[in-house]
Amino acid sequence: MATIANSTKTARPERALNRRVVAAAVIGNALEWYDFTVFSFMVVVIAELFFPTSSEYSSLLLTTATFGVAFFMRPIGGIVLGLYADRAGRKAALSLVILLMTAGIFLLAVAPPYAAIGIGGPLLIVFGR
């Protein structure tokens, strides 16, 4: 009976920790999908400002390709950062992920349009994504 009582005491903190981990993962995933949703709604504006071409469809395709870069890079980033996490630990990997996400958002926020610096604007958008 004492063994059961001790295992119950140790199971509760582990269950609380699991709930916090799941909650953090859900919040992170929700923010990521919010980013995708906002980018999807703003695709026409982004196409006009960053990918001006003679054809409206070409601009939209280039913007959609920029959107697709994010989906393509997720698994690659997961592999690279997973290997880094195995070597340096989860805390260091999480700190690096937060730093990289902040840098990407910063690039998106400060990227000047095509009219200001030419091809540099779209390149900053693609690199930031």
For the chain, the domain total comes to: 1
Q: Is the pLDDT of residue 5 over 80?
A: no
Predicted TM-score of the model (pTM):
0.70
Q: How far apart are CA 72 and CA 69, in angstroms?
A: 5
Distance of CA 57 to the CA centre of its chain: 26
The pLDDT tens digits for 51-82 are 888 888 888 898 889 888 888 888 999 999 99
Residue 86's pLDDT band (boundaries 50, 70, 90)? very high
Instruction: Provide DSSP, 70-100.
Output: HHHHHHHHHHHHHHHHHHH-HHHHHHHHHHH
Range of the domain at 113: 2-128
Q: How far apart are CA 36 and CA 128, in angstroms?
A: 13
Q: Is the pLDDT of residue 11 over 60?
A: no
Q: Is the pLDDT of residue 18 over 90?
A: no
